[in-house]
Amino acid sequence: MQGKIALEEHVAIEATLNDSKVFGTHVWDTLGPRLIDVQGARLREMDQHGIEMMILSLNAPAVQAIPDVKRAVDVARQANDAMAADVGKHPDRFAGFAALAMQDPEAAAAELTRCVKELGFVGALINGFSNVGSADNVTYYDLPQYRPFWRTVEALDVPFYLHPRNPLPSWTKFYEGHNWMLGPNWAFAAETALHALRLIGSGLFDECPNLKIVLGHLGEGIPVQLWRIDGRNGWMNAPHNYPAKHGVAHYFRKHFYLTTSGNFHTPSLINAVTEMGADHVMFSVDWPFEDVGQGCEWFDKAEIGEAERAKIGRDNAVKLFKLKI
C-alpha cells in the first residue's frame, strides 16, 4: 500500500540517545545512528516501502526518567525544537509529537500548548510514568495533580500517545532472576497496560469526555483481556469499585486508538479490529527498533479487507491528527 502513515517512530537527541543503548548494545553501531537520522536512511526506507509520513517522537524513557524537574523541562524543550527543525525540512513527510516533562504538570501543559500552537505538532508521546524529584519515584498520570494537564490536552484536541518504559528494579522484585522479561518481551506491555487501566479506573474520561489516548503494540495486551476485565467472575459478579462511571471496555473502545508498532501479527491485528472497530487501529512500525520493510510487507499483505487497510494504513491517522497531506 502506498501513502501509509506511521506514528510510533522515534528519534533521539544527544541528551537522550544513550537511554536506548541497553536495549541494543549488540547492534548499537547501527541502532544509534538510525535513531539520530531523520533525513537520510529513514526517508529512503519510507520511499521504498510506501510510507508517506512518519509522526516523530523522542526515544524512551528520556524525559520521563530525569528526576531533576528543571532539567527535564529543558531536555523536553530542546528535543521539541530539534524535532521542529527536522519536520520543517520535510513537512510533507514528517510531523511531530511533543516530549513533555510530566514531572511538572503545569510546565508540561505549557510546553504542549507551545508545541501545538507554535511548532505545529499533532500531539504528545510520553514514555510512561515519571520520576519526580528522585530516580526511585514513580508518578502515574491518573493522580489529581494531572487533571488540569488533561483538560489542556482535551482543549487542544490532540491525542496523547502513552508509550512504554521499563518498571523500576526497586518496584519489581517479581522480575528478579528473569531479566529476559524486561523491555519489549513482556514488561513494557504490562507496565503500559497498568498505566492505561489506572487512567480508566480513575474516572479521568468522565471528566474529559473528548480525550484521545493512543497505545502501541496493538494495545499492550488489553484487547485480549477486555472481556475478562469487566466480566470478573460469572458467579461472584463483583462490580468494579472505582471512581469511573462505566466498565473498562466502554472507555477503552471510545477513548483509545491502537497502533501496530512492533506487533506484526495478523491474528492480533484482526482481534484488535474486532474489539475496537477499524476506525480505532492505525499502522506503525516502531523505528528504529523494528524493521520498516518487515512491518510494511506484513501490513500490505495482511488478510484484512481493502477498505480496512486504507483506514488503518492511512485514513484514520489523517483524521485523528488532522494531517494536511
Element (H, E) at 305: none
Element (H, E) at 302: none
Which residue, chain included where needed, has cell 494537564? 149
Is 67 an interacting residue with respect to ligand GRE (CB under 6 A)?
no
Residue (of 285, 287, 261) closest to 31 by Cα position: 287
Tell me, rounded to whole angstroms, the distance of Cα 138 from its chain centroid: 18
Least separation in angstroms between residue 295's CB and Zn ion is 12
Nearer to Zn ion, 214 or 248 (CB): 214
Is 184 an interacting residue with respect to ligand GRE (CB under 6 A)?
yes
- 20 touches which of ligand GRE, Zn ion, none (CB within 5 to 8 A by kind)? ligand GRE
Is 262 an interacting residue with respect to ligand GRE (CB under 6 A)?
yes
Cβ atoms 159, 133 nearer than 8 A: no
Among 37, 111, 275, 286, binds Zn ion (CB under 5 A): 286
Nearer to ligand GRE, 95 or 109 (CB): 95
Is 9 an interacting residue with respect to Zn ion (CB under 5 A)?
no
* Grid cell of 110 as nine digits: 505549557
Least separation in angstroms between residue 130's CB and ligand GRE is 16
Is 260 an interacting residue with respect to ligand GRE (CB under 6 A)?
no
Least separation in angstroms between residue 264's CB and ligand GRE is 12
Nearer to Zn ion, 8 or 45 (CB): 8
286 is catalytic: yes
Is 19 an interacting residue with respect to Zn ion (CB under 5 A)?
no
x/- site string to Zn ion, residues 251 to 280, per CB under 5 A? ------------------------------
Residue (of 106, 138, 10) closest to 62 by Cα position: 10
Nearer to ligand GRE, 60 or 208 (CB): 60
Calculate the CA dihedral of residues 218, 224, 227, 230 and round it to 10 degrees: -70
Phi, psi of 254 (to 5 degrees): -85, -45
- Alpha carbon distance 39, 21 (integer Å): 22
Per DSSP, helices labelled H in the chain are 14-17, 28-36, 41-49, 69-89, 105-117, 147-156, 187-201, 204-207, 222-231, 248-255, 266-276, 292-301, 306-310, 316-320
- Alpha carbon distance 220, 162 (integer Å): 10
Q: Which of 19, 286, 291, 300 is catalytic?
A: 286
Q: What three-state secondary structure class fits 4?
A: strand
Is 191 an interacting residue with respect to Zn ion (CB under 5 A)?
no
- 23 touches which of Zn ion, ligand GRE, none (CB within 5 to 8 A by kind)? ligand GRE
Q: Are strands 281-282 and 256-259 parallel, antiparallel or unpaired?
A: parallel
- 212 touches which of Zn ion, ligand GRE, none (CB within 5 to 8 A by kind)? none
- 184 touches which of Zn ion, ligand GRE, none (CB within 5 to 8 A by kind)? ligand GRE
* Grid cell of 232 as nine digits: 470478573
Least separation in angstroms between residue 79's CB and Zn ion is 15
Interface of this chain with ligand GRE, residues 5 to 24, rule: CB under 6 A: 10, 20, 23
Among 141, 289, 299, 321, binds ligand GRE (CB under 6 A): 289
Least separation in angstroms between residue 184's CB and ligand GRE is 4
DSSP 165-178: -PPPGGG-GGGTT-
Number of residues assigned to the chain: 325
- What residues are annotated to the active site? 286
Binding site for ligand GRE (CB under 6 A): 10, 20, 23, 59-60, 164, 183-184, 262, 286, 289
